[in-house]
Every structure is written in C-alpha cells, then in structure tokens.
Amino acid sequence: MCQLLGLNCATPTDATFSFTGFCQRGGATDHHADGWGIAFFEGKGLRLFIDHESAAASPVAAFLRGYPLKSRNIIAHVRKATVGEVCLENAHPFTRELWGRHWVFAHNGDLKDYHPKLHSHFLPVGSTDSERAFCWLMQELAKSHASVPSVAELTLTLRELVPQISRLGTFNFLLSNGDALWAHCSTKLHWLIRQHPFQAATLMDEDWTVDFADINQAGDRVAVIVTTPLTRNEQWAAFAPGELKVFVDGQPVG
C-alpha cells in the first residue's frame, strides 16, 4: 500500500516540516520506495514533482525539503507498487484539466481488475488502477455538471460517485482543484488542524521539532491529512471507514 499527505491552508503555507517526515516513509522508516510525488497549487497554476526513485533517497525530494514552496493546497504521495510497474508514468499524484482548472489526485489502495469504461477525453497514461479511477471520476464529474459547480455541489456529486469505486477495493484518496481538498477514507486516514494558539510539534520519522507559534500569525490555519500520523505530540483524529471530508481554508466544511 501507499501513503498520502495533504495540506489545505487558509493562507499560502510551505509543507517543509510535514514533507520532511513524510519522505522518510518512502524507503527509510517504511517500505514505500516505489516512487513519490508532490503537487503545489499556486493560483490557477500547478507545480508538480514526481520521481520513480524512493522519496528518502531522491535528490529532487531533497531539493524540495530545502526549497520551501508555499501553497494553499498540497498533495503528496509515496508509493508501494501493487498494480503497475515502477516507472515515472505510474508515480502519483496524477493531474488532469477540467473546466479550465488543474485537478490533482493521489490514491492509497488496491482496485483489482478495475477497468472502467472511459471516453476519449480522460484516459490513463500509465498502467495503475489509481489513474484509471481518477480518469473515471473526472469523466463522471464532467458529465454531471454543465458548468463549473460550487464546492458544495462537487461534494454532493462525489458522495454519489465514490461508493461506486470503493465497493471494488481499497480507495483512500486525496483530490483537489486548488479551491478545496477532498479526502476519502476506505481503511486508514487521519487529520488535524493547526491554528492559533499554535503549539510545538515533533516528527515521528525524523528528529525535528518546530514551534509553530514562532512562524505563524493568528490568521494562519492548516488542515493536515495523512495516512498515518506524522507527529508524536499532536492530537490526530481518525477518519471513519467510508467517510468523505472536504476542506476549505484550512478547516473541514462537509
């Protein structure tokens, strides 16, 4: 299985602290060494970095840990391959365009023999069940709305679509269009909110403590979503199996 990391923020925020601990799970403290990736939304733009090497050893990941990029929506992934070979086109997150916006998706799980009927506009580049599921979701969202829907409307549609995939296997995922971040739990996913008054946090996978009170303002707020808690001294909440949450401006809204 893979691991997921997502940040949804009220103000542009860097993921250096969380990403540093998360990378160690890509081959150092855990066995998810079959590729990694991270996507940063910046307005309508998107910075995407993917690699088929392990995150713990990747020079690209090391560069990003030392070069903070600020964003309001960030999705990262470390892969343990189950369906599809270890190669660049199978590295998450995946991206597609819909309604003139970038969409980003990363999946943790296994959908055996999953081959949905796909139309020509949304087709997979690689060979993973994850990318096929993403293409199907994009296809069905496009079919369900004639114009750009609100976050609330998108959430309602996703609540109808997601069970059609999750009944076929394990379907933990993160999805964002730059306005919101949707997180679905099939088996395991955790979340927390960092906000004023900020506290210190210590990573589980790296010897690093940060006092967020020293680097944040009163209006800053960050929702962190991850497969397994990243820190040892913060209160993480577990998703319920089958739960879909949507985060906007660093807090859950549905």
Cα dist. 83→3, 54, 126, 203 in Å? 15, 17, 10, 30
- Residue 240 domain flag: yes
The per-residue pLDDT for range 213-241, each reduced to its tens digit, is 999 988 999 999 999 999 999 999 999 99
Each of the 254 residues of the chain gets a pLDDT tens digit; together they read 689 999 999 999 999 999 999 998 877 676 666 789 999 999 999 999 999 888 878 899 999 988 889 999 999 999 766 665 777 999 999 999 999 999 999 999 999 889 999 988 999 999 999 999 999 999 999 999 988 899 999 999 999 999 999 999 999 999 999 999 999 999 999 999 999 999 999 999 999 999 999 999 889 999 999 999 999 999 999 999 999 999 999 999 97
Structural domain including 224 reads 3-108+172-252
- Residue 160 domain flag: no
DSSP string covering 170-204, please?
A: --EEEEE-SS-EEEE-SS--EEEEEESSP-EEEBS
- Residue 215 domain flag: yes
- Residue 66 domain flag: yes
Of these residues, 2, 9, 23, 185, which one is catalytic?
2
- Residue 188 domain flag: yes
- Residue 64 domain flag: yes
- Residue 113 domain flag: no
- Residue 142 domain flag: no
CATH number of the domain at 79, please.
3.60.20.10
Q: How many distinct structural domains can be found in the chain? A: 1
Can 87 be counted among the known catalytic residues?
no
